[in-house]
Structure 1
Amino acid sequence: MNRRAILSIGLVAVAGIAIGCSGQSDEPSGAGGAASAEPGELPVTLEHAYGSTTISETPQRIAAVGIGDTDVLLSLGITPVLVPAWKGSVDTGIGAWAQPSLDGAAGPPVLANAVADFDVEAVAAAAPDLILAVNNAIDEDEYRKLGAIAPTVLHAPDQTDWMLPWQDVTTRIGAAVGRPQAAAERIASVENAFAAARADNPQFAGRSAILVRAMPNDTFRVYSPTSARGQMLTELGFTMPAQLRDRFGDALYTDVSAENLALLEADLLVIDNYDASSERLNALPTFTALDVVRSGRMVGLDAVTSDAVSMPNPLTIPFVVDDLLERISRTSIG
């Protein structure tokens, strides 16, 4: 068995590893149920931009409002009573990477427009005793409305919407449900797999890579290395090319116009949701003339992997890394 196959197996196993030291089961409960809290971990108080939230006892009905928060819950053996939808390859709020965690059960009800103007009444209708909106952009008015329904957990006060390290999201959700040790073990397993991927691919170290999305009017959106999408390449050992490093500031991305596509030159170019724009890109001379494209160092992601890469967590990362390594292996730097 080759190293890539071993890595793939190890990553896929992350969602199901046992919590040996805690003595808690990780078997997913039915919708609305929750795995038992680890001894002594509740109550817990979590600070956020609008104050703090205290969870006093093991929640039994958790509504996930943050994108990817569902996956973290499932990786901890908890099935939420409500899941957020996103505009992507599915509208059920459950990606292909999370389906095995449901073990054939039907998915929970879906909160539509979760990253825009979602219906707070739909959250209330799920009758949650805890609301997770960690990976979302929640303003104070929305927080007050959600908090009137149930204790609501947001990201830490010093963090920026959509630029959350996946480890922090997993840690925070683990703390909120009283399973910090389980969350730490999930994180350690994924970090060990990343380390194995870097060791198996030393050619990535110090090489430049960017992930972009083709926008209307031949504009290209380049994602910051601290954004959700950018984190995956950084974890694999890649860096941002010099000509782009100072263009982000605190922003998630920077847009590059068609006449400035030379800025996209890198050792590796990853195109988000390539299938949706491939025909247009192949007809754009300034794109096809890029050395990174002509030299076979471009990787195009399909819609499902593009969804997964936008929300790194213990379930999506195994899915993405396996696919991304295979695609990179077919380029001239693989």
Structure 2
Amino acid sequence: MTSIIRKAPREEAHTIEYGLTGKGTMMNIFARDRRTLSSVRRLAATALAGLSVIALTACTGTGQSTTSSDANASGSSNFPVSIKHAYGTTTIKSQPSRVSTIGWTNQDAVIALGVIPVDMPKITDGAAGSSGILPWTESALQKLGATGDKAPKLHDESDDIDTEAIASTSPDIIIGIQSGISKAQYQTMSKIAPTIAYPGKAWAAQWRQVLTLSGKALGKESEAKQVIADDEAAISKAASAHAELQGKNAAVMYFDTTKLSTVSVYTTADTRPAFLQDLGLSTPASVEKISKSTESFYKDIAAENVDQFNDVDIIVTYGDDTTLATLQKDPLISQIPAVKRGSVVVIDLNSKLGSAIAPSALSIPSTVDDYAKVLAQAAAKVG
């Protein structure tokens, strides 16, 4: 996926749509998409596209070789392996060496396991800048020597997944554990290479699950366990440094400050609230109740009903230095206790945290200290 702010994919005619802006930057995707779902571009691949991809695969060579030198150093004897996901079961007959990733954070899991993808998505906003690669991802690639001609190719996902670009890199496997691909897209990509779609709900794979399944797919299960342990240690250290977080709860919300008639709440299916739990913050009862009422990773709540959030200690949201003041001036939103007292963490989408509050294997050690610090500042305002 090209951006961290994403709107829930929706089922219609058995396809799943990504929430993307027409401009492809997705800077305002959540606000725009929740108002105008009908204008979202459909990503279901057509039969013609599928044929062109297969034709391209047949006529392309091996392309660049960008796998890490130890890609086959462990786990090769564990194959074949089978991985269940939303569209069935994918069997991987032998240890992959040419890995393509789609969606969000999958590339970080693969790289954290010591494997250099031959191809991964270009990130079009957040902290990526013009390189299309997030800073912690770029740093990890440099440590693996994956620079210049050895760097992964980047494909575009701002409007549709560029399956032809993926096919041109001749992958052995396509990993989309944290994604929202449609069945049609899955079928198209499966003609290129064995493809792993999301398990359970779209966009709901947690960072540990992404690592665990990637490790199984790549024959790197022991490495995955070690990365998880290291990331958990970093989280624990960051949380323990801030006693203010103890006994507090937090919710992640989105406010369209140009039209505050609706509040969008991220449910417990989303990676952002789950990360708050990792840091020792509990989920408010109001968010738990909302989460049980929907299959999506978000739900829109009318501003007239925001009194249900009276139990929220801390709100995490996207915005800028004017966001909190705008919320505090609104006659309805300002009545939320967290807004009234200012226990709101406003995350700039173009900052590192803007790309990291939905965590990955690589973003956690790079940003968790900063995240815990701003959460603690908000927690200190809770009586």
Tell me which interval the TM-score lies in, with the shorter structure as reference length: 0.7 to 0.9
Equivalent residues of 2:175, 2:195 under 8 A apart: yes
Deviations 1:124-157 (A, max 9, x none): 122212111111112222112111111112233x
Matched, 1:178 2:213: no
User: Once the 2 structures are TM-superposed, how far is the Cα of residue 37 of structure 1 from its aligned partner?
Assistant: 4.2
| Superposed displacement of residue 235, structure 1 | 1.0
**Equivalent residues in 2 for 1:58-77 (5 A)?**
58-77=95-114
Q: What SS is found at the alignment partner of 1:251?
A: coil
Q: What aligned pairs does 1:140-179 form with structure 2 within 5 A after superposition?
A: 140-156=183-199, 159-179=200-220
The structure-2 alpha-carbon separation of the partners of 1:233 and 1:274, relative to structure 1 and needing over 3 Å to count, comes to: farther
- 2:121 alignment counterpart: 84
State yes or no: 1:32 paired with 2:66: yes
Amino acid at match of 1:309: I
Q: Is 1:257 matched with 2:302?
A: yes
**Post-superposition shift, 1:320?**
3.6
Compared CA separation, residues 279 and 113, structure 1 to 2 (3 A): farther
Match in the other structure for 1:22: none
* CA offsets 1:281-307 (integer angstroms, 9 cap, x no match): 465343445432342321111213122
Q: Which residue of 1 aligns with 2:253?
A: 212
Aligned counterpart, 2:147: 105
Partner of 1:97: helix, strand, or coil?
helix
**Equivalence for 2:89:** 52
- Could you tell me which amino acid in structure 1 is paired with residue 111 of structure 2? L
Aligned residue for 2:203, secondary structure, equals coil
User: Quick one: structure 1 residues 31 and 286, their matched pair in 2 at CA, closer, same or farther if it must change by over 3 Å?
Assistant: farther
Assess, with a 3 A threshold, how the Cα gap between structure 1 residues 205 and 329 changes in structure 2: closer, same or farther.
closer
Unaligned segments of structure 1, at least 5 residues = 1-29
Instruction: For residue 93 of structure 1, report the CA deviation from its aligned partner.
Output: 4.3
Partner residue, 2:332: 286
Moved over 6 A (4+): none
Unaligned runs of 5+ in 2: 1-63
What code does the residue aligned with 2:344 have?
Answer: M
**How many angstroms apart in 1 are the aligned matches of 2:115 and 2:370?**
26
SS at match of 1:217: coil
Q: Secondary structure of the equivalent of 1:98?
A: helix
- 2: CA distance, partners of 1:166 / 1:134: 10
Match of 1:233 among 256, 260, 276: 276
Show CA shifts across 1:21-69 (max 9, x none). Answer: xxxxxxxxx9621322414233322222333222233322211113111
The alpha carbon displacement at 1:204 in A equals: 2.8
TM-score (norm 1): 0.80
Taking only the aligned residue pairs, the percentage that are identical comes to 28
Q: Is contact 1:33–1:60 with CA below 8 Å preserved after alignment?
A: yes
> What is the CA-CA distance between 1:322 and the residue it aligns to?
1.6
Q: What's the secondary structure of 2:286's corresponding residue?
A: coil
Q: Aligned-residue CA RMSD in angstroms?
A: 2.6
Contact 1:271 1:301 in 2 (8 A): yes
1:309 paired to 2:309: no
Give the letter aligned to residue 368 of structure 2. Answer: V
CA contact (8 A) 2:238 2:369 kept: no
Q: What letter is aligned with 1:319?
A: S
Q: Cα–Cα, structure 1 residues 324 and 255, in superposed 2: closer, same or farther, change >3 Å?
A: same
Q: Number of residues paired by the alignment?
A: 301
Q: 2:368 aligns with which of 304, 310, 321?
A: 321
Aligned to 1:3: none
| Aligned-partner SS, 1:220 | strand
Q: Distance in 2 between matches of 1:224 and 1:153?
A: 24
Partner of residue 318, structure 2: 272
Report if aligned partners of 1:211, 1:272 keep a CA contact under 8 Å in 2: no
Aligned-pair CA distance for 1:76: 1.2
Separation (CA, whole Å) in 1 of partners of 2:343 and 2:324: 15
- In the alignment, is the contact (CA less than 8 A) between 2:319 and 2:346 conserved in 1? yes
1:182 positional shift: 0.3
Is the Cα contact below 8 Å between 2:342 and 2:378 reproduced in 1? yes
1:192 aligns to what? 233
Code of the aligned partner of 2:369 = D
* Cα deviation, residue 87, structure 1: 5.1
8 Å CA contact 1:31–1:80 kept in 2: the answer is no
